[in-house]
Amino acid sequence: MSTPKGNFNYPAAYRIGAGRLAELADACAAVGMQKPLIVTDATVAGLPWFSKVTDALSGLSHAVFTEVQANPGEADVDAGVTAYRDGGHDGIILLGGGSPMDVGKCVALLADNPGTVFDYEDIGDNFKRADPAKIPPMIAIPTTAGTGSEVGRASVVVDPRDHAKRIIFHPKMQPTMVLADPELTVGLPPFVTAATGMDALAHSFEALCAPGYHPMADGIALEGMRLVKDNLPKVFADGSDVEARTHMLMAASMGATAFQKGLGMVHSLSHPLGGATGIHHGLANAIFLPYVMVYNRPTIEAKMDRLARFLELPQGGFDGVMAWMLELRALLKLPHTLAEADVGFDEAMATRLAPLAAADPSQGTNPREASVEQLRDVFVAAHAGTLPA
């Protein structure tokens, strides 16, 4: 059986399938890019297949920027903007997981627009400060199947002033084209495969649970979760399964497409925790998911009935979805608590981070309102492992 392959234009021009990296020069021509800056990180730049990227661009003048941290901050963006301007580039290739894509999209935003990255935080109409005509084209090449940042219109950047994660947004930050080649994800370690896959699941799950009328997002979220259910265990067990890797890349993009409807408390808790401790974002989401489900249960029961039926779970309703979530996380060998994750979290940190979670934009679309004290209680429950029997 041949692996899936396709071209479509939702939500951006999207080419998926094994071997699509070879089309990079053609993709550059299609978006009008003649002198690209590759934004990636040192780990990706050191991988054996990275030479295929530069070989594919052998006919184009290009440069590589690798100063990207796992939880990027303002300094990463500023360094990238300097590299872009000094090199006289006319477009950006975003290569990697969520962090290089977050940085690269912010570099594009600031390449010819004034101010600092935080001037464009996703508050009110801040995005209107940027001239969209001055945002250069971007080609996104994901190397993990989790964030879905390749189709997103926002980035997450750590604010050095308080270590909070800020969401930077502009409609034109969505990459112009995506080249999704599953062969680039084959070498991911099992932990990274698991954590990024749970990130993709959290995106679709929270989008489904978010309030508001958006049947398109709900449908995408349901199918995205089905793809995770059917394929994440496969790629965790066998990282060379290119067909399952293809489906996971699709699930990641679907999650990010669906969460245009909104996210929720899983992310409002994960964002400040990541800024404070550096925990992998997907791991944080995986830990928080069941505890947030318990908090939101009064408002999501009906949706869990539908989700359990759609996923054909052996047990129906909320309890069936919860059992599946816990079984999947255990299968992926991910910790059940923040204490097991050993990131230095304690109840004092819960008190400090709860107000940041309350102010996080993701909390605004959580299906059940929460006070600062209630957010603190969920932090504490996730640290101690307190789930109803």
211-258 per-position pLDDT tens digit: 999 999 999 999 999 999 999 999 999 999 999 999 999 999 999 999
**Do residues 210 and 277 share a domain?**
yes
Residue 80 lies in a domain: yes
The residue behind tokens 């954590």 is 195
pLDDT of residue 329: 97
**Do residues 237 and 334 share a domain?**
yes
What confidence tens digit (pLDDT) does each residue in 182-216 have? 999 998 999 999 999 999 999 999 999 999 999 99
**Do residues 234 and 269 share a domain?**
yes
| Residue that terminates a domain, selected from 155, 184, 213 | 184
pLDDT of residue 351: 97
Residue 354 domain boundaries: 188-384
Average pLDDT in the 73-88 region?
Answer: 97
**Do residues 242 and 351 share a domain?**
yes
Query: What is this structure's pTM?
Result: 0.93
pLDDT of residue 320: 98
> b/e per residue, 183-197, with b = 16+ CB within 10 A?
bbbbebeeebbbbbb
Residue 253 lies in a domain: yes
**Do residues 177 and 198 share a domain?**
no
Residue 261 lies in a domain: yes
Average pLDDT in the 24-29 region?
Answer: 96
pLDDT > 90? residue 163: no
Q: 211: domain CATH number? A: 1.20.1090.10
**Do residues 172 and 64 share a domain?**
yes
Phi, psi of 16 (to 5 degrees): -125, 140
Residue 283 lies in a domain: yes
Count of domains in the chain? 2
Residue 1 lies in a domain: no
| Residue that terminates a domain, selected from 166, 184, 202 | 184
pLDDT > 90? residue 12: no
Model confidence at 86, pLDDT cuts 50, 70, 90, reads: very high
pLDDT of residue 4: 86
pLDDT of residue 187: 86
**Do residues 222 and 150 share a domain?**
no
pLDDT > 70? residue 98: yes
**Do residues 279 and 336 share a domain?**
yes
Q: 11: domain CATH number? A: 3.40.50.1970
**Dihedral angle of Cα 67, 72, 73, 77, to the nearest 10 degrees:** 50
C-alpha 104/C-alpha 44 separation (Å) is 14
pLDDT of residue 389: 54
Q: Beta-carbon neighbour count of residue 46 at 10 Å?
A: 10
Residue 389 lies in a domain: no
Model confidence at 1, pLDDT cuts 50, 70, 90, reads: low
pLDDT of residue 186: 93
pLDDT > 90? residue 296: yes
Average pLDDT in the 358-383 region?
Answer: 96
**Do residues 84 and 122 share a domain?**
yes
Average pLDDT in the 374-378 region?
Answer: 97
| Residue that terminates a domain, selected from 164, 184, 204 | 184
Residue 175 lies in a domain: yes
Model confidence at 299, pLDDT cuts 50, 70, 90, reads: very high
**Do residues 85 and 199 share a domain?**
no
> b/e per residue, 105-143, with b = 16+ CB within 10 A?
bbbbbbbebeeebbebbbeeebbeebeeeebbbbbbbbb
C-alpha 229/C-alpha 301 separation (Å) is 20
**Do residues 180 and 237 share a domain?**
no
pLDDT > 80? residue 354: yes
Residue 84 lies in a domain: yes
**Do residues 162 and 202 share a domain?**
no
